[in-house]
Amino acid sequence: MATQHSRSAARIMMAPAVVLLLGWMLVPLIMTLMFSFKRYLPLRGGDLGWTGFDNYIRFVSSSAFWPAVSTTLIIVGAVLIITIVLGVLLALLLDQPMWGQGVVRILVIAPFFVMPTVSSLVWKNMFMDPTNGLFAHLWRFFGADPVAWLSEASVPSIIMIVSWQWLPFATLILLTAVQSLDSEQLEAAEMDGAPALSKFGYLILPHLSRAITIVVLIQTIFLLSIFAEIFVTTGGAFGSRTLTYLIFQRVLESQNVGLGSAGGVYAIILANIVAIFLMRIVGKNLDA
């Protein structure tokens, strides 16, 4: 079928993409690995030689490490739970017959297209500001003391902002999966008089499990590296420092490249564990 001629042409046409991505992956990765074994302070003497696993040990034993890990896990876990639970409910609602379905879809999907710096700032100032924010107005209206959201409850506030950004993504993918549900099966269940809850538990949820897995994996990869949402709201203060932000601070703010690179290697390993599962699912789909 494919001639020898077209085979070699195909190879040539693939070459630029493969070479570029290979370079993009390997060059920085090797440099990060190299730096992570060095004492490297660009502003205080530069490259001060090899130190073995010193940076790896120091990164883990610093007092900022474990809080950053737990903040990261709390944010990722909470956002996943919120977006998936609400996403499933919202997908089921949007799948029902209604007037103006297209417009509602557009309203629901909109937050995903707002750039992270804008959504973070809008939430930070116009909603969460303790004096003039909309929440403060609302709290005062009910006679409560306004909350200084981003300093008193920084992690829940960030979870809320990030959930708002990612709920559309989860909803859209789950809605796509709901729409591919076999309606005959559902009708048969309805005829047999299956209650709504068991219809959900035995038919809909199993059908959605694949889409949910994919949402979990893709969101985890993105959520592990959220940056702008913290950069413009708290700047990592008030216990909102994630692993990504900690590494950013080590590398660019305190210019300790060796230490930051060791942290980077940890982050790469963490992301890879998630990625392996995602690739399995996507890979299986390629065979089908």
Partner 1 sequence: MARGITNQRKAINTAAAWAVGLLIFFPILWTILTSFKTEAQAIADPPIFLGFNWTLENYATVLERSNYARFLWNSIFIAGGSTILGLIIAIPAAWSMAFVPSKRTKDILLWMLSTKMLPAVGVLYPIYLIFIKMGLLDSKIGLVVVLMLINLPIIIWMLYTYFKEIPGEILEAARMDGASLKEEILFVLTPMAIPGIASTLLLNFILAWNEAFWTLNLTAVNAAPLTAFIASYSSPEGLFFAKLSAASTMAIAPILILGWFSQKQLVRGLTFGAVK
Output the CA angle 229-235-237, nearest 5 degrees. 115
Q: How far is the CB of 216 from partner 1 (least distance, A)?
A: 12
Task: Give CA–CA dist 67/48, Å, rounded.
Answer: 29
Contacting residues for 259 by C-beta, under 8 A, at least 6 apart: 55, 58, 59, 250
Output the CA angle 206-87-113, nearest 5 degrees. 135
The yes or no reply on residue 267 touching partner 1 (CB under 8 A) is: yes
The yes or no reply on residue 223 touching partner 1 (CB under 8 A) is: no
Contacting residues for 234 by C-beta, under 8 A, at least 6 apart: 150, 151, 154, 158, 240
Residue from 173, 216, 223, 230 touching partner 1 (CB under 8 A): that is 173
Residues 27-46 that bind partner 1 (CB under 8 A): 27-29, 31-32, 35
The yes or no reply on residue 75 touching partner 1 (CB under 8 A) is: no
The yes or no reply on residue 185 touching partner 1 (CB under 8 A) is: no
The yes or no reply on residue 11 touching partner 1 (CB under 8 A) is: yes
Using the minimum distance from each CB to partner 1, give the nearer residue, 3 or 63: 3
Using the minimum distance from each CB to partner 1, give the nearer residue, 78 or 123: 123
The yes or no reply on residue 232 touching partner 1 (CB under 8 A) is: yes
Residues 236-265 that bind partner 1 (CB under 8 A): 244, 247-248, 251-252, 257, 260-261, 264-265
Tokens linked to 270: 């963490």
Sketch the per residue contact string, 127 through 166, with partner 1: x for CB under 8 A, - otherwise. x-x--x-x--x--xx----------------------x--
